[in-house]
Amino acid sequence: MVSLIATVLNEGNNISDWLNGILSQTVLPDEIIIVDGGSKDGTWEILTKKSQENNRIKIFQHAGNISSGRNFAISKAGGENIVVTDAGCTYDKNWFKKISDPIISGAQVFVATGFGPWFKPSDNLLAYLVAAATTPAPAEFSRNWLPSSRSVAFKKDVWAKAGGYPEWIPLCEDVVFDFKIFKTGIKPNYIREALVFWRPRTTLSSFFKQLFGYTRSDGHGKLWLRRQMTRYIFYSINIILLFLTIKVSGWFVLIILAGQFDYGRRFWKRWAVFSKDLPLFKRYVGFILMPFVVAFGDLGKMCGWPLGVYERKTGKIKFEV
């Protein structure tokens, strides 16, 4: 038996489409367990109707953060094989089969698939730029990555052995969960295809808020210290070089440009992939704007991380190993 679990909160605008995507898979879960964290937009009413129409769908209400909801959902699962995803995603039609087969067969106990962005015809240029700033391109899945709980599968005893999802951290819970699993000696089996897709942010404010929140929880969880320090050092050096360019010699701008090229080439490569269906003019404009969008996102990260560290140091967040 395979149980698919997801948590939702105020997903009224897309919960029906999401469920249709799950129910259109070539292979279906034996049960779909959905935990609502307290929606106020009609999500629960939609779920109630859907569960009455399809006995495969089982719904619960449970207050708490994402980790709490996932742990509750898994505790209610009848199957020993668990697939975790999020509402709001879309899927390759073979996603569920490909992610669950290695678990059902017993060949693997922890599986992760690649992922990517999905766009609407009405999306503005910023949506594509944000996707390139935050989401790996398909070629990047040739290397290993930290599994995202929008698309993972595992045996229930793996979850239990790791102590479940960490309920003490507001965001980045799947990263901490991954590390907890790794500590048990279990490594993921990677399906190196983008099989699940989610929406990039479409406004600067929501983009900033997203990255601020993620790195705030990086600070909560003592995550990626070297990466955080590299970011501060890179921008500090650029500020010094900009000062030298203005006050000493314009030649210092060449060092700035060289550094920006090295820092930004990964994002430009992604831009080339994600923007391939855009008109040529927009592709050129996006290429020029890409470094500015990355820098804006980095600003959100650099604001979020010290706040997270402060909240951990002062005990607002109770860090757990």
Report DSSP letters for 97-114, one per residue. Answer: HHHHHHHHHTS-SEEEEE
In this structure, the answer to whether residues 185 and 289 fall within a common structural domain is no
Average pLDDT, the chain: 96
pTM as predicted: 0.93
Query: Given 156, 179, 198, which residue is the final one in a domain?
Result: 198
- Residue 79 in this model has a pLDDT that exceeds 90: no
Domain that holds residue 221: 204-313
Count structural domains, the chain. Answer: 2
Tokens of 70: 């996932």
Digit-coded pLDDT (tens) for 268-282:
999 999 999 999 999
In this structure, the answer to whether residues 74 and 162 fall within a common structural domain is yes
Q: 6: which strand partners?
A: 34
Sheet holding 189-198, edge to edge: 57-61, 31-36, 2-8, 81-84, 152-155, 110-117, 189-198, 90-91
Average pLDDT over residues 292-303: 98
Digit-coded pLDDT (tens) for 42-76:
999 999 999 999 999 999 999 999 999 999 999 99
- Residue 321 in this model has a pLDDT that exceeds 80: no
Digit-coded pLDDT (tens) for 141-165:
999 999 999 999 999 999 999 999 9
In this structure, the answer to whether residues 115 and 227 fall within a common structural domain is no
Alpha helix segments (H runs only) across 138-279 = 156-162, 173-183, 204-221, 225-247, 252-274
Q: Taking a C-beta distance cutoff of 8 angstroms, is the pair 34, 60 a contact?
A: yes
pLDDT for residue 151: 98
In this structure, the answer to whether residues 102 and 226 fall within a common structural domain is no
Digit-coded pLDDT (tens) for 303-312:
999 999 999 9
- Residue 320, domain member (yes or no): no
Q: Which helix (H) or strand (E) holds 60?
A: strand 57-61
Digit-coded pLDDT (tens) for 183-197:
999 999 999 999 999
Q: Which helix (H) or strand (E) holds 308?
A: helix 280-313
CA distance 224 to 193: 26
In this structure, the answer to whether residues 256 and 118 fall within a common structural domain is no
Q: Taking a C-beta distance cutoff of 8 angstroms, is the pair 90, 118 a contact?
A: yes
